[in-house]
A = this chain, B = another copy of it.
Amino acid sequence: MEPSKEVDAPAATSPQPQSKRTRSNNGKGKSIAEDAQPLAPIVSTKATPLQRGGWKKGVAILDFILRLGAIGAAFGAAILMGNNEQVLPFFTQFFQFHAQWDDFPMFRFFVVANAAVAGFLVLSLPFSIVCIVRPLAAGPRLLLLIIDTVMMAFVIAAASAAAAVVYLAHNGSQDANWMAVCQQFTDFCQVTSEAVVVSFVAAVFLSFLIFVSSLALKRGG
């Protein structure tokens, strides 16, 4: 698909015998830059990146915006869940009258993981800014891709473990004889579900970030 086009592109424009032209990795942008000034004896190596970085800069800015969205979603999920607490005005035979987010270790993991992911994403913002300033730098881009992959894994693990508990709290389990505690703690379950949804939104942001980063990496460093 794409690669064969890139291989053919320099061959199509090659009848300029004076410049020994080797296959450039992503030839399109570069050959345009060369054709524009064919008689300049030695081109500064700084000029080419500035001309080619146009759409890459756009990708880097998109990366920055998506990253802010992911930070907001992960932080919001952690805050929503971390402040989740409900005290019931009555007491029954089976239930405590007090539900709190740290009743379940999964919810504790949820809060810690989402807060940690938000923190790491904040720490990754400078690298995203480096990618805006130097759109062709492959090193920061690769670092961001790996950070984002690990963060996505944590967010999804936290969100889906919490979602499993939320499901059990809503529906109970006939087979295990677990009761649906959400019938009492309606507000608690409502906020918990919202936090899980917000956390999955963060995961969607992160998956878009990975997609954008890999697309930017593909076109060369």
The residues of A with any CB-CB pair to B shorter than 8 Å are 1-3, 6-7, 10-11, 14, 17-20, 22-26, 30, 33-34, 41-43, 45-46, 48-49, 94-96, 99, 103-106, 134, 136-139, 141-142, 145-146, 149-150, 152-153, 156-165, 167-169, 173, 175-179, 181, 203, 207, 210-211, 213-215, 217-221
Contacts and interface: CB of A to CB of B under 8 A. Distances in A.
A42 B20 contact: yes
Say how many copies of this protein the assembly contains.
2
Main secondary structure of the interface of A (DSSP, over half): helix
Contact of A137 (B3, B164, B175): B3
A60 to B, nearest CB: 14
Given A3-B221, A26-B221, A145-B214, 9 more contacts: A2-B139, A7-B46, A20-B42, A24-B25, A106-B164, A149-B152, A149-B211, A164-B164, A220-B221
A215 B162 CA distance: 33
B20 A48 contact: no
Nearest to A34: B22
Contacts of A178: 168, 176, 178-179
Contact of A153 (B2, B17, B43, B152): B152
